[in-house]
Chain A
Amino acid sequence: MEFRTEVVDLASNIAENCMGHEEAFCVAACPMHTDVKKYVAQIGGGNYQGAMETIREKLFLPNTLGRICAHPCEVDCRRNTEFGQAISVAGLKRFVAEKADNKELWDVKVKASTGKKVAVIGAGPAGAQAAIDLRKEGHAVVIYDKLKVVGGMMRVGIPEYRLPREVIDFEYSYLEDLGVSFQMGVEVGKDISFDELRVIYDAIILAHGAHKGNLPPVQGKEAKGVFHAVEFLKEISFTHKFVRGGKRIAIVGGGDVAMDCARSSWRIGCDEVFLISLEDRNNLPASQAEIEESLEEDVKFNNGWGTDEIVKNEHGAVSSIRLKKVASVFNEEGRFAPTFTDETKEIEVDTVIFATGQQVEDITGGLLEQQGGGRYDVNPDTLATKLSDVFVAGDASGGVIVVEAMALGRKAAKSVDRYLQNRDLNKARHIKKELSYKTRLDVPLPKGTVNLPRTSGNHREARERKRDFLPYDLGYTEEQAKKEASRCIQCECKLCMTECIMLNDFTECPQDLFSEFIDKGEIDPVIPYSCNMCGGCTHVCPNDYQIGEAFMGMRKDFILHNDGKSPMEGHKAIEIHQMLGFSKVFCTKVKGVK
């Protein structure tokens, strides 16, 4: 039976735009699209194993991410956008990982061998994720890393007091369980050339991160005692020391890496730690938590100052750093172009660390072009390069945080898998959903939602923690975790589904119901004829969708195709009823007269 275009149009509009299946803010924001909403609810309900299974559907590093994820989900969390107090998603993830993660929950199934071999360069989160996904598809995967340990920047950048190394090792053991091979301590470009790899392997993923530290063009930067954050943190990661440094240290930079350097400085035994940033306190790029924790640890912030000169002593070593007051950081077009006033000040230090960004080193011998920051020229949708067998992932392709590196690793793996099967890289792919995106969800806050404060965690006393590399954050207790999880609003639309009984009998949301109608071109008449036409759905629908109207349109079509009669058996009675309602016996008209 054919429905009239107005009915089909109305239905397709609802099918396309209904927010019934629109992701919650957290889930859309997570580059890996972890079902945050679901596992937070599971934690709230005490179903820790269930929560763990939900997380592991997407993440092989739950405990790691629970500690160090830059959590874009929390930025977009409705409790953040409405009240400035996001759900502590990462904290909850860590809690449940510690409570319930267990190798028995790990899915180690891999498909039958394809006979294809892939080399992944870099054992950071991007390379690891790519390796996992490719291995599961049945390809042989070898990870090359110049270090002897896994984890990439998570291991040699992120300090140990934020991320204990045994957590990384335990979670990475999953790769071995899957049968991923490792060539550790092998530097591509030195121990083996890129060209050689291309001969041996069917495809290559470059996931070697951004480990090159460039010093900005500051006068005196060649002085003894000037270092970049990358080498500083790396040495500390391995030895808990930085032997080339002194006791009075200045960290230049205002981001999280700068905070890591500053806080690590206390832990290697410095006496004074200064932090120097162009941005003022309120505009520091670092996360609020890191800023507060650094302040608690007594880092001396000098915000709104730029480096004028690194002053050397007669041995060519740092003796102080001279700062100039910032007038503005960005120009009128919003571009980074700091200007300064004449005001200066000098701080006596013996060590200066620049935490001013890391770059991607080329390991292809110039075969692939690089852009600003060194990241490779790639097709952003597929991460393919101009070499058909070479793909890039993680920081090397422009990522900046761990969970994003993982999503980029997954993206590259998807492309490689298609490439190995000679399939089109783009076709039938939901590119938008392969990274963070903005959900279309736009709903009023549920009735009665109030601003509940975020449950504070358990940090060790600053005085105590700043002298060791043990975890500074002890994580939530069970009671705290449940309380925190209970703050979740469980964002979704489906407002009509809470209002209408009838819809619940037939569907999960109007999007499903009308999509099915559009796809099949038919609908069981009992559905449109079960609508009360009460308008309750439209009243609560944020888009005012005329769901009743759509059903009414269908009814009219059923009548047209059924000799003017309703297809519902029970409606025979109504027909009689209506006939009588118009019959002479029961009707009258009387003219009024005075």
Chain B
Amino acid sequence: MTQKMGFMPGCSLPSYTPEGVKKTMEYLKMVYPDLGGVQKCCGKGTKALGQEDKFKERFAGLQKDIDDVGIEMMVVACQNCYKTIKETSDHTNVESLWTLLPRIGLPEEVKGKGSVSDVVFAIHDSCSTRYEKEIQDGIRWILSELGYRVEESEFSREKARCCGFGGMIVPANPDLAMRVMKRRGNDFDSDYVVVYCAACRSSLMKAGKKAFHILDLLWGPVIYNEEPAPEDVLSSPAKSWINRYKSKHAVRKVVKA
């Protein structure tokens, strides 16, 4: 018996790209017609502050939402959501979008589209999943299916370094956070960096890199050298919340379509 699938975009991704959320869900809906959807925070931020009780309370709220709509297997596009659900939920299974896509394949029309690009992308792995080799492999598989050329840095995969955003340090120690971001930026020779976390993308933009979310490459236009990266939306709270609101509607619309 197959499990009931759902998708959860998380926080930073829907704040960054409602379009990316929508296209991803549309594709998943094609493969899993009864795909459900939940948009809510997993509570990682609360947990990171050390607010254990509040975190438990908040995660229970998320768990209730998941159960209410009968999702047994939650697909996530955020590494923190992945870890939080995996470590906290006692009955909801979780799978990263980055391991799911290699199993279900990419839509025909995107395959090989990056092969005309002259960009060589560096890959920034998320430090929260430094030991999740399958997720890292999935990202590389997607890039290779798209036809983009990539280069590995010394600090990739399990040696990944923090983008500077982790641990809620930006508000606590902004000067330090900025230095961590700059250092991470300097780990890459290429100006073009592909990431799979929207918060990491924002950090790398602050470090002066042209950072792309992998969903930008999957659903957006082909990227060529000299082209700018999308705006650092997450730096603007207003824009972020508007996007988050738009994403919420996208989730509803796609699931109900």
Whether chains A and B associate is: yes
Once bound together, how far apart are the Cα atoms of A526 and B68, in whole Å?
40
**Does A592 contact B69, Cβ atoms closer than 8 Å?**
yes
For residue B46, which residue of chain A has the nearest CB? A578
Question: Chain B's nearest CB lies how many Å from the CB of A549?
Answer: 12
What CA separation (Å) do A78 and B208 show in the bound complex? Answer: 41
Bound together, the chains give a CA A559 to CA B36 distance in angstroms of 36
With the chains together, A590 CA to B167 CA distance in Å?
A: 31
Asked if residues A559 and B52 are in contact (CB atoms below 8 Å), the reply is yes
How many whole Å from A550's CB to the nearest CB in chain B? Answer: 12
0/1 interface trace, chain B 158-188, chain A, CB 8 Å (1 if under): 1111101111111111101001100100000
Most buried by B among A526, A558, A573, A587: A587
B172 with A526: CB separation less than 8 A: yes
Known: A534-B166, A573-B171, A591-B70. A505 touches B49 (CB 8 A): no
Known interface pairs A577-B45, A581-B40; A590-B166 also in contact (CB < 8 Å): no
- Which of A380-414 touch B at CB < 8 Å? none
The reply to whether the CB of A570 lies closer than 8 angstroms to some CB of chain B is yes
The reply on A184 being an interface residue by CB < 8 A is no
Contact string against B for A residues 545-579, beta-carbon threshold 8 Å, 1 for contact and 0 otherwise: 00010001011111100001010101101110110
Contact residues of B between 41 and 89, Cβ < 8 Å to A: 41, 43, 45-46, 48-54, 58, 61, 65-66, 68-71
B75 CB → nearest A CB, Å: 12
Which residues of B lie under 8 Å from residue A592 when comparing CB positions?
Answer: 4-6, 32-37, 69-71, 255
Q: Does A586 contact B (CB under 8 A)?
A: yes
Q: Is the CB of B180 within 8 A of A590?
A: no
Inter-chain contacts of B124 with A (CB < 8 A): none
Residue among A499, A530, A534 with most chain B CB within 10 A: A534
Q: Tell me whether A536 and B127 are in contact in the complex, defined as CB-CB below 8 angstroms, given that A555-B50, A588-B252, A592-B35 are known contacts.
A: yes
User: What is the CB-to-nearest-CB distance from B10 to chain A, in angstroms, rounded to a whole number?
Assistant: 9
Q: Which residues of B contact A571 (CB under 8 A)?
A: 49, 168, 171-172
Inter-subunit contact A594/B33 (CB<8 Å): yes
Q: Give the interface segment out of B99-107, B115-123, B140-148, B241-249.
A: B241-249
Residue in A closest to B69 when the chains form the complex, CB atoms: A591
**Distance from B4 Cβ to chain A, minimum over Cβ atoms (Å):** 7
A591–B36 CB distance below 8 A = yes
Question: Of all chain B residues, which has the CB nearest A568?
Answer: B172
Of the candidates B6, B162, B248, the one whose C-beta lies within 8 Å of that of A532 is B162
- B39 contact set on A, CB distance < 8 A: 586-589
Q: Is the CB of B169 within 8 A of A530?
A: yes
Residue contact A590 to B168, C-beta cutoff 8 Å: no
B250 to chain A, nearest CB (A): 10
Evaluate contact between B52 and A534: CB separation under 8 angstroms: no
Assuming A534-B166, A566-B49, is B176 touching A590 (CB within 8 A)?
Answer: no
The interface bits of chain A over 510-545 (1 if a CB of B lies within 8 angstroms of the residue's CB, else 0) are 000000000000000010011111111001000000
Is the CB of B111 closer than 8 A to any CB of chain A?
no
Are A526 and B252 closer than 8 Å at their CB atoms?
no
Closest A-chain residue to B14, C-beta based?
A586
A532→B166 contact, CB < 8 A: yes
A535-B127, A571-B168 in contact; A556/B50 too (CB < 8 A)?
yes
Cross-chain contact B11 with A505 (CB below 8 angstroms): no
How distant is B55 from chain A, measured CB to nearest CB, in Å?
A: 9
> Is A336 an interface residue when CB atoms closer than 8 A count as contact?
no
Q: Min CB distance, B5 to chain A, in Å?
A: 7
Decide: A590 near B36, CB < 8 A? Known: A532-B180, A534-B166.
yes
> Which residues from A are CB-within-8-Å of B168?
529, 566, 571, 574
Q: Which of A533, A559, A568, A574 makes the CB contact (< 8 A) with B166?
A: A533
Whether, in the assembled complex, B206 has its beta carbon less than 8 Å from a beta carbon of chain A, the answer is: no
Closest CB in chain B relative to A571 CB, distance in Å = 6
B251 in the interface (beta carbon within 8 A): yes
Known: A566-B49, A588-B252. A529 touches B173 (CB 8 A): yes
A574-B34 contact given A532-B127, A580-B241, A591-B69, CB 8 Å threshold: no
Quick check: B35 and A501 within 8 Å, CB to CB?
no
Cβ of B239 within 8 Å of any chain A Cβ, yes or no, is no
The reply to whether B69 and A593 contact each other, CB–CB distance below 8 Å, is no
Residues from chain A with Cβ under 8 Å of B164 in the complex: 532
Q: In the complex, A571 Cα to B174 Cα: how many Å?
A: 11
Choose one: B65, B159, B180, B256; the contact of A539 (CB below 8 Å). Answer: B159
- Complex CA distance for A566 and B48, rounded to whole angstroms: 10
Query: Within 8 Å of chain B (Cβ to Cβ): is A585?
Result: yes
Contact of B69 among A502, A539, A590 (CB under 8 A): A590
Measured CB to CB, the nearest residue on chain B to A540 is: B159
CB <8 Å contact, B45 and A578 = yes
Closest to B240 in A: A577
Q: Which B residues are in CB contact (< 8 Å) with A578?
A: 41, 43, 45-46, 58
CA distance A582 to B43 in the complex (A): 8
Residues of the B chain whose Cβ atoms lie less than 8 Å from the Cβ of A502: 169, 173, 176, 180
Q: B173 contacts A530, CB within 8 Å?
A: yes
Residues from chain A with Cβ under 8 Å of B37 in the complex: 588-590, 592
- Shortest beta-carbon distance from B51 to chain A in Å: 5
Q: Is B130 located at the chain interface by the 8 A CB criterion? A: yes
Complex-state Cα separation, A577 to B32, whole angstroms: 32
B194 in the interface (beta carbon within 8 A): no
Residue of B33, B130, B176 with most partner-chain A CB within 10 A: B176
The residue on B at minimum CB distance from A575 is B49
| B-contacting residues, A496-512, CB 8 Å | 499, 501-502, 505
The winner among B53, B158, B169 for most chain A CB atoms within 10 A is B169
State whether A593 touches B46 (Cβ < 8 A): no
How far, in angstroms, from A594 to B30 measured CA to CA in the complex?
Answer: 10
A474 → chain B, closest Cβ, in Å?
Answer: 44
Contacts of A590 in B (CB 8 A): 36-38, 69, 251-252, 255-256
Chain A residues near B167: list those with CB within 8 A. Answer: 529-534, 548
Is B245 a contact partner of A586 (Cβ separation < 8 A)?
A: yes
Other A-B contacts than A571-B172, A588-B40, 11 sampled, CB-CB below 8 A, are A502-B180, A526-B172, A526-B173, A530-B169, A533-B167, A539-B130, A566-B50, A573-B171, A586-B245, A587-B65, A589-B69
6 closest A-B pairs (Cβ-Cβ)? A555-B50, A570-B171, A581-B41, A534-B162, A592-B36, A532-B166
- Listed in ascending order, the chain A residues whose CB lies under 8 Å from chain B are 499, 501-502, 505, 526, 529-536, 539, 548, 552, 554-559, 564, 566, 568, 570-571, 573-575, 577-578, 580-582, 585-594
